[in-house]
Structure formats: structure tokens, C-alpha cells
Amino acid sequence: MRKVLKISIIVLSVILALLIIAVSTVLILNKIGKNAFHKNDTNIVNKYVTEDEGGIIYKGDRYELNPDVIALLLIGIDKDSVNKDSSVGINGQADTLLVAVIDTKSKAVTVIPISRETLVDVNQYTTSGNYSGVANKQICLAYAYGDSVEKSSENVLLSVSRVLFGINISSYVTMDLDALEKLSNAVGTMEVKVNEDYYDTDSGIRYKAGTTIKVKGRSAVNYVHWRTDDIDANNYRMERQQSFMTAFMNKAGNQISDNFSNVITYYNLMKPYVSTNITLPQTTYLTTSCLRINLGNSIKYVHIPGETFLKDGFSAFSPDYDALTDIVIDTFYKKVS
């Protein structure tokens, strides 16, 4: 009996030690991950705010960056494979840009869609990869000035940060059209409403505005990718992308709630079609921080007001920078006494 008791104590001690190591590892990874998200934090700079001892003054009130808020950029590119890199100039464009902002304390999620037509300073490079200066042009073109998914995505990150007055967004997830097709097939058929007269090139069917349709696979890709030549075509497409994202997150969220192993299934499915610079510590911090976050309709989508016009024969979008300052401060800052 003494021998059995001794063995039991040793086994329990080993288990306890392993648990302590596991918990300590998670805590350490969490700390490193949070610091990684915030290591490049800087206050925004524009004519509407003034710096003040580590914070800013805006409309007479003092604000500081919210330490519980992290942001990452979701980039959807207009090619079928994210890993088929081309040379500078023909590496594709960033068709969809979504800044996902997560408050890890309140569990609130805010998504700021950035129009692909937004005019912003874009770093340019020659076909040999040498820096050739900055030009004010559509933000979607920032992706083309790279010869790899990493360089292209980093260039887009830089321009998105410029749109948001220099706010720190250093993490990205870039996915291609194949990823969307695979994921929507895995999740299953979703119902969405078309906001304009819409042509489904997958089925060859035309739908009137306001019609509720079912999408899956290629029809889902078409729903978020198709647009006309109208000057406001991309604005309509962004609305469809938002409705699709809501439907997808609702359905995928329910499936994950019913069976948590679906997270692994979706991850393995997406892996060949996605590129990201998010590290293991950052992933650990995201995972542990987002366990209680609601999906779908609980996501707050923010609309950036502004003007759409023609520039050199192409649609261009200029944000209302006064309103955009309100959005950035409401999303990334907290008011302090």
C-alpha cells in the first residue's frame, strides 16, 4: 500500500508539474503575443488632433490608445492562388480590405471596410524590387508592388495605416479566391440578399435588387467578387461582402459552437490558400482572448463616408477625414480624465 501511495504521489506530482508548465507556457505566449500586437503603437497624426504626453487631445478631450484593442488586416486578393507569386506590377490587386478590431476585454468586434478605390500614398517598386518613390493612387494597387505575398501584403498594410492616420496595424491575413470557395463549400449554403440588379456568372441567372438568393462555392465567390462598370459598383460590392460575411460568420459560428473540432477542420482547409505574418504567441493571445466573442450579427461594421468620383477614367474614393477621425478614435482610443 505504501508503494502504491508513493507511485500515486509521484504520478500526481508529474501531472501537476506538467499542468503548471502548460499554464505558464500559455501565459508567457499570451504576454509575448499581446506585446507583439502593440510593439509599434503610435498615436494618430492629422490636423484634427494634437499630441499630449503620450495621448492626444481631440475636440477638447484627452484620449489614450486602448491597450485592450488589437487590430489585424484581412486582405482578399483577386487571384485564384495566394502562393503563385508574380513579378512586381502583375502580382494581383487587393480587392477586399477589412480592418478587424478586437477589444479583448469587452469582447466587442468592429470591422472597418476600406474601399479598394481609396486614394492614398502607395510605395512603389521597380520590377527588380528597388524602391522608386510614393504615388497617390488607389489602395488596391499597393498589392501589385510586390513580388511575393509577404512583400505585397506588407505594402498594403502600410497604405491602410496611412488611411487611418498612422494607427498601428502590423498583422495581416491574406487569402485568395480559392480559399473563399473551399470555406463556403465546407460551411454550406448561405442565404444573402442582393442590393442591386445582380448577375450570377456561375449559374448565368440574373436577379433583381432585393432578391434573397442562396450561395455556396463558386456562386459565393461570384457574389463577393462581381461588379459592374458603374462608378459606385465597388460600394455595392462592399455591401454584398458585408452581408456575406455576416451570413458566413453566423453559420460557421453555430457549427463551431455545436462541434469545436470544426475550428481545426476550417483551419486545415484554409491553410494552403492563406498567408499571414501572425506568430504563434499572437495566435495564442488571439485564441484565448476571443473564446467568448460572439459572431455574425454582433459584429459592428463601420461605414467610412466620403466621395466617389472618376480619376483618369477610374473610380476613386476620398474619405471624409473629419468623420474618419471620429471612427478611429472611437475604435482605438479611450477617453481619460
- 248: domain CATH number is 3.40.630.190
Q: Which residues contact 260 (CB under 8 A, 6 or more apart)?
A: none
Residue 300 clears pLDDT 70, i.e. is over it: yes
pLDDT at 256: 73
The domain that holds 95 is classified in CATH as: 3.30.420.590
Task: State mean pLDDT over 127-133.
Answer: 86
Question: Do 259 and 332 reside in the same domain of the chain?
Answer: no
Q: Do 113 and 242 form a contact (C-beta atoms < 8 A)?
A: yes
- The yes-or-no verdict on residue 302 having pLDDT over 70 is yes
Residue 24 has a pLDDT of: 45
Tell me: do 144 and 281 sit in the same domain: yes
* 225 and 250 part of one domain: yes
Q: Supply the pLDDT for residue 286.
A: 75
Identify the H or E element spanning 309.
strand 306-311
Question: Phi and psi of 136, rounded to 5°?
Answer: -85, 115
Last residue of a domain, one of 229, 245, 276: 276
Give yes or no: residues 51 and 93 share one domain.
Answer: yes
Residues 155 and 167 reside in one and the same domain: yes
Statement to judge: residues 60 and 119 lie in one domain:
yes
Given 238, 258, 276, which residue is the final one in a domain?
276
54: left (phi over 0), alpha (psi -120 to 50) or beta: left
The answer on pLDDT for 334 being more than 90 is yes
Is the domain of 302 the same as that of 250? no
Span 184-242, pLDDT tens digits: 898 899 999 998 899 988 788 899 999 999 999 999 989 988 888 889 899 999 999 98
Whether 157 contacts 169, CB under 8 Å: yes
Question: 183 and 149, same structural domain?
Answer: no
Claim to verify: residue 33 and residue 23 sit in the same structural domain? yes
**Is the pLDDT confidence value at 114 over 60?**
yes
Residues 66 and 137 occupy one common structural domain = yes
What's the pLDDT band for 297 if we cut at 50, 70, 90? low
Distance CA 216, CA 181 (A): 7
pLDDT at 281: 81
259 and 321 inside one domain = no
Amino acid 66: pLDDT: 94
The pLDDT of residue 267: 77
Per residue in 51-98, pLDDT (tens digit) is 988 899 999 999 999 999 989 999 988 766 666 666 676 678 898 999
Average pLDDT taken over every residue of the chain:
84
Domain boundary among 260, 276, 292: 276
Residue 54 has a pLDDT of 86
Q: What is the pTM of this model?
A: 0.85
- Are residues 196 and 52 part of one domain? no
What per-residue confidence (pLDDT) applies to 253? 75
How many folded domains does the chain comprise?
Answer: 2
Q: Is the pLDDT of residue 22 over 60?
A: no
How confident is the model over 254-259, as a mean pLDDT? 76
pLDDT for the residue 296 = 55
| Residue 253 structural domain | 175-276
> What distance in Å separates the CA atoms of residue 70 and residue 167, rounded to the nearest whole number?
11
